[in-house]
Structure formats: structure tokens, C-alpha cells
Amino acid sequence: MILSDQAHVPYEDWAILFYGKDFMKPFKTFRQQLKILRSRGLIINNGSRATRILETENYYSLINGYKDIFLQVNNTGKVITPEQYKNGVTFEEIYYLFCFDRELRNILIEYLLKFESSIKSKISYRFSEEHKEPNAYLQMGNFSRDPGKLKKILQLIATISNLISKNADRNGPIKHYLDNHDGVPIWVLVNYLTIGNIQYFFDCLDSSLQNSIAKDFAIPFNKSYNLTIQFTSDELANVLKTVNYFRNVCAHEERLYSFRIHKPARSAQISNHLNINSSHLDRGNIFTVVSFLKLVIKKEDHKSLIRKLKRLFDNYNPKFSSVNITDVMNKMGFPANWESYY
């Protein structure tokens, strides 16, 4: 069916085709929603407070997003159907987990942005140092000569060209440089690039530039921790890939605490650099990205991140009763002795 057929299809059938059968679930009042939750064993101590929460927080995001850890499971670990909550689970606990995750996103994004700013600065500096001609980032010859990356390089140049074009008539740095200097320096341009664009940019660079940028991260790390690691461009690419996933989760306010990368980056060398068992790092979860950040942000910033996470865990520990804060931390990939790694 094409869009022009919409007028000839009953609304209900069209909605199912485009949104799935869940679209047809009938509207439920807050009172009805709470009644359904009670029927599944959820304890709601204060219906008025629960209603006020649902008035400000979307039911789907709150309940469907954070109920999993509170549901009964069978011997194989699968949630039983129809859904039933574990004994003693309260509405407040689900809401506390929701709030915990919101605070977690706010904490993590601060340090992901520190890395993002740092790698943008290093890429723009090293690229400009190597390629001094105007608009050098629009020339294919200034990127990798690997034939397997040709398509990616063309896509990168097209993305940058479109970005400049879209901002050419908008008041701002890009318009200023186009009007007054006939080109946009890369150190200005990188501020408009997403972390995904930056991942692409780094991947398209020739190996010598990639290695220089990786070394720019290794030098302060070695100095701060009194080590002599060789931080390779492949390892930096793995960190960048991991950060990109979590940056997007935070930016879109998606559920973070249990997020895992489907195909996480694996690096035995990063495990050696951090002196953390690879089994803890290869899962692509919160513990992975927190550990990876140690390599690419300042030592004092990483210690600040760890302090804030510990404070978050301590603050929410007494708020849960049917589950434990360690259950939440396990979902995040934090081993029992996680603090000893930092």
C-alpha cells in the first residue's frame, strides 16, 4: 500500500499497518492504568501520588521502560506470562529506578562530552597541521588511500558539504567564514559535527594521522598514571565507537542503565592498559564505557565521574526493597569490586 491509498482504507486498518497492533490498545485513564498494575501484583501505596507521577512522566516510558528488573521470571530467567511483579514491588520503586536512570544519564553525558570536545580538538589540529590548504576536508586525496574506504570517504565529504550548505545563510561562524574568508576552517567545522560524524571522520583519515591522534591521548594518560602504554589508533576507534552509542542513548533520553551494545568493540590491549579483565569490558555496557573513558579524559575528570557514580549508588540504595542496588549495578556490568579498578 502507498500513501495515496490512505483515503480508501479505514483508519483502524491503516493505523495497524503503519504502527502495529499495539496502536489499537484502547485509551486508559490513570485510574485504569493503576488498576491494571495492581492486578499484576504491583503495590501502589499512594494512588494520588502515583497519578501525579503519571501526569508528568509518560506511562510507556516509566512502566514499560523500567519494569523488567521487577518482574517474576521462570527457571530459565524469562519473564513469565502473563506478567506478574515480584513480591513486595512498589510503584515507587519503579519510579525511583526511572529517576536513577535520569541522573545516570546526566552524570555520564558530562564526561562523554569532555571526550567529544577533546577528540574534535585533536582531529582538527592534526588534520590542519597536515593539510594546510583551504577546505582540505573536501578533497578525497587528503584521506585514506584504502580502496575499501572510498565509499565512506565520499559519504563523509557529502555530509560535510551539506552541513556547510545548510548553514551558509544562517547567522553564525560558518556564514561568517564563508562571507569573509571564502572557506570554513576545520576547527570551526568540527563544532557542527556529531560524534557519529567524528567517528566517520577519524575512520577516513590515513593511518599516520590516526596514530598521531591516538598518541595525543596516550601521552597525558601515561603521564597521569605513570605508565608507558602504546595506545593504538584501532583502540581509539573502539573507544570512539563505544562512546558514540552511549552518547546517542543519553541525547535521546533512552533507558541507559541496562543498555548494551549489540556488537561491542573488543580489545585485549585496552583490557591490559586498564588492568581490567576483558570479560568485564567486552559486554558493551555502562561499565565498559566508564572504563574506556579513563583512557581519553583527564585523570581528575575520571575520578570525578567515579565519585559521582558512587554517590548515586549510595543515594539510591535505601530506596529499593524488592531488589537491591547491586541488582541494578549488575545490569550496568559493574562487578562487585568495581571501585578497585579505578
Between vectors from CA 155 to CA 233 and to CA 118, what angle results, nearest 5°?
A: 40
77 lies in the same domain as 185: no
Query: Can you give the pTM of this predicted structure?
Result: 0.89
Instruction: Tell me whether residue 95 is in a domain.
Output: no
CB-based burial label for 18 (10 Å; 0-12, 13-18, 19+): exposed
Q: How far apart are CA 198 and CA 296, in angstroms?
A: 15
Q: How far apart are CA 234 and CA 65, in angstroms?
A: 34
Cell numbers standing for residue 269? 590491549
235 lies in the same domain as 139: yes
83 lies in the same domain as 110: no
139 lies in the same domain as 40: no
Instruction: Tell me whether residue 278 is in a domain.
Output: yes
In this predicted structure, what is the pLDDT of residue 99? 98
Please report, as a single letter, which amino acid is at residue 334.
F
Bridge partners, 73 (sequence order): 79
The three-state secondary structure class of 73 is strand
Cell numbers standing for residue 227? 605508565
311 lies in the same domain as 192: yes
Give one DSSP letter per residue of 61-85, joined into a string: IIIIHH-GGGB-B-TTSPBPSS--B
In this predicted structure, what is the pLDDT of residue 34? 94
pLDDT beneath 50: ranges in the chain? 1-16
In this predicted structure, what is the pLDDT of residue 154? 97
Instruction: Tell me whether residue 97 is in a domain.
Output: no
Q: How far apart are CA 252 and CA 274, in angstroms?
A: 30
Residues 155, 200 contacting (CB under 8 angstroms): yes
Determine the straight-line distance between the first and last CA of the chain, rounded to whole angstroms. 56
Task: Please say which residue of 39, 64, 89 terminates a domain.
Answer: 89
179 lies in the same domain as 316: yes
In this predicted structure, what is the pLDDT of residue 77? 85
176 lies in the same domain as 315: yes
209 lies in the same domain as 233: yes
Between vectors from CA 153 to CA 295 and to CA 212, what angle results, nearest 5°?
A: 35
Instruction: Tell me whether residue 14 is in a domain.
Output: yes
260 lies in the same domain as 111: yes
Cell numbers standing for residue 165? 550548505
17 lies in the same domain as 116: no
Instruction: Tell me whether residue 76 is in a domain.
Output: yes
Rg of the chain taking only CA atoms, in angstroms: 24
What's the domain range around 337? 102-341
Task: Please say which residue of 89, 113, 137 terminates a domain.
Answer: 89
Q: How far apart are CA 131 and CA 209, in angstroms?
A: 11
Instruction: Report how many domains make up the chain.
Output: 2
Q: How far apart are CA 183 and CA 198, in angstroms?
A: 20
82 lies in the same domain as 110: no
Instruction: Tell me whether residue 210 is in a domain.
Output: yes
Task: Please say which residue of 89, 112, 129 terminates a domain.
Answer: 89
285 lies in the same domain as 313: yes
